[in-house]
Amino acid sequence: MNLRNIFSILMFISFMLVVVACGIGNIEERRSAASAPTYTPAPVQTTKPLSTDTPLPTPTPQIIIKEIVATATLTPLPTDTSTSNPSSTLPAPATTSSPTQTTVPTIQPFVEWSNETGEWTASSTPPECGLLEEIFFVAPIDVSIVNEFARPGRAGGNGFYYLAHGYLRANNTPHDQIEVKFPAEGFSLYAANRRVEDYYIEEKETNTRRHIVDDEEQVKLEFHHPCGIAVMIDHLAQVTDQWAEIIKDVPVLTNDSRVTFMSSGKYFVESGEVLAHAIGHATNTYLDLGVYDLRSKNDSAEMLARDWPKYASTASHGICWTGLFGPEAQELLEGLTAGSVRTSDFCD
């Protein structure tokens, strides 16, 4: 074998070794690729990841304004195959709660009585009065302390004037220890008078004349019931704070009992409500009381119009009130004799 052939053989062997080495490398490469897991690159994070012990941030609330539209939820009605009348298959409407509604009472105008024309008339149709005994409940003062009683409806001052009211006198009780209560229900203030007095009293028993002068204010209050009954209480002293406030703008007169008219139906009084803590004066302890039926005139109206025209418009409606406070009070009053005045055009 010559050198040329040996060289060719060596070149062939070297070539084969190179081919084998490359093939093995490709096989390893393919084997590694086949056994490796598929890997998908993670997306790039632009913020720092949160650890598990870091609280999540509270998202900023978004304020969304929506128009609220009231809608009714409709519930399908059950089908009733037991009847051929479709309308009878409808169940009764469901009861739904509704907001509580306050009934607004109808405000009736207060019935005002006036005698601007010389006759008492009502501003509108008055309600029924019923029995007066059902309106009056209590005597204005404790009847047990009264020791003199004058009936309403008589001439006074030796025939100088006419008294349509009566009086209750309590000479044995200090004047400032007597409470005055309103005797009836459903009345409101009609008029008021405030005054100080300077006058004389004729003492018939001793035939003397006593001078009464006092700066303690006397108060007269007149009340009306819408049905047409009027009550006058005079010689109230030390009126309660409530009523003093009501009449604070009424002028204080001297020896003048003219009244100031008040707003109709504004100042109501309850039955048994205390009006004052004293009556009259320390030296003349008495209370005047008059009750009048403005709906009709009394049996003395013709005589009053003839003999006492100055007083007729009110006195013609005066009534005898001795029986309005129950039989026991009436018996006590009627039983008083000493100093009492039994003369009366209104009482039997």
- Separation between Cα atoms, residue 294 and residue 121, nearest integer Å: 8
Measuring CA to CA, which residue among 239, 223, 237 is closest to residue 183?
Answer: 223
Most confident of the ranges 152-161, 225-234, 338-347: 225-234
**pLDDT for res 117:** 86
Which of the four pLDDT bands, split at 50, 70 and 90, describes residue 104?
low
Cα 321-324-326 angle, rounded to 5 deg: 135
Q: Assess whether 303 and 164 both reside in one domain.
A: yes
Q: Assess whether 208 and 293 both reside in one domain.
A: no
For 270-325, the pLDDT digits (tens) are: 999 999 999 999 999 999 999 999 999 999 999 999 999 999 999 999 999 999 99
**pLDDT for res 16:** 56
Q: Assess whether 160 and 300 both reside in one domain.
A: yes
**pLDDT for res 102:** 54
- Separation between Cα atoms, residue 340 and residue 47, nearest integer Å: 112
For 60-88, the pLDDT digits (tens) are: 443 333 333 333 343 444 444 443 344 44
Q: Determine the average pLDDT of the residues in 149-154.
A: 96
Domain residues for the domain of 290 are 150-173+285-348
For 13-50, the pLDDT digits (tens) are: 555 544 444 444 443 444 444 444 443 444 434 333 33
Q: Does residue 2 come out as left (phi exceeding 0), alpha (psi in the -120 to 50 range) or beta?
A: beta
Taking 50 as the threshold, does the pLDDT of residue 204 lie above it? yes
Q: Assess whether 310 and 327 both reside in one domain.
A: yes
**pLDDT for res 89:** 43
Q: Determine the average pLDDT of the residues in 244-261.
A: 97
Taking 60 as the threshold, does the pLDDT of residue 219 lie above it? yes
Asked, for residue 298, whether it belongs to a domain, the answer is: yes
Domain boundary among 255, 279, 303: 279
Q: Assess whether 273 and 348 both reside in one domain.
A: no
- Separation between Cα atoms, residue 43 and residue 53, nearest integer Å: 24
- Separation between Cα atoms, residue 112 and residue 346, nearest integer Å: 25
Q: Assess whether 275 and 183 both reside in one domain.
A: yes
Per the prediction, the chain carries an average pLDDT of 79
Q: Determine the average pLDDT of the residues in 206-230.
A: 91
Asked, for residue 86, whether it belongs to a domain, the answer is: no
Q: Assess whether 160 and 182 both reside in one domain.
A: no
- Separation between Cα atoms, residue 90 and residue 172, nearest integer Å: 84
Asked, for residue 291, whether it belongs to a domain, the answer is: yes
Asked, for residue 19, whether it belongs to a domain, the answer is: no
For 157-184, the pLDDT digits (tens) are: 888 999 999 999 999 999 999 999 999 9
Residue labelled with tokens 């009780």: 173
Which of the four pLDDT bands, split at 50, 70 and 90, describes residue 100?
low
Counting the structural domains of the chain, the total is: 2
Cβ contact 281:216 at 8 Å? yes
Pick 222 or 91 by higher pLDDT: 222
Cβ contact 203:209 at 8 Å? yes
Asked, for residue 164, whether it belongs to a domain, the answer is: yes
**pLDDT for res 248:** 98
- Separation between Cα atoms, residue 339 and residue 205, nearest integer Å: 8
Asked, for residue 314, whether it belongs to a domain, the answer is: yes
**pLDDT for res 1:** 54
Q: Assess whether 191 and 262 both reside in one domain.
A: yes
Q: Assess whether 227 and 297 both reside in one domain.
A: no
Q: Assess whether 182 and 169 both reside in one domain.
A: no
Taking 70 as the threshold, does the pLDDT of residue 93 lie above it? no
Domain boundary among 279, 311, 336: 279
**pLDDT for res 162:** 97
Cβ contact 339:286 at 8 Å? no
pTM: 0.69
Asked, for residue 48, whether it belongs to a domain, the answer is: no
Q: Assess whether 208 and 169 both reside in one domain.
A: no
Domain boundary among 239, 256, 279: 279
Share of the chain above pLDDT 70, in %: 68
Q: Assess whether 240 and 185 both reside in one domain.
A: yes
Asked, for residue 247, whether it belongs to a domain, the answer is: yes
**pLDDT for res 57:** 42
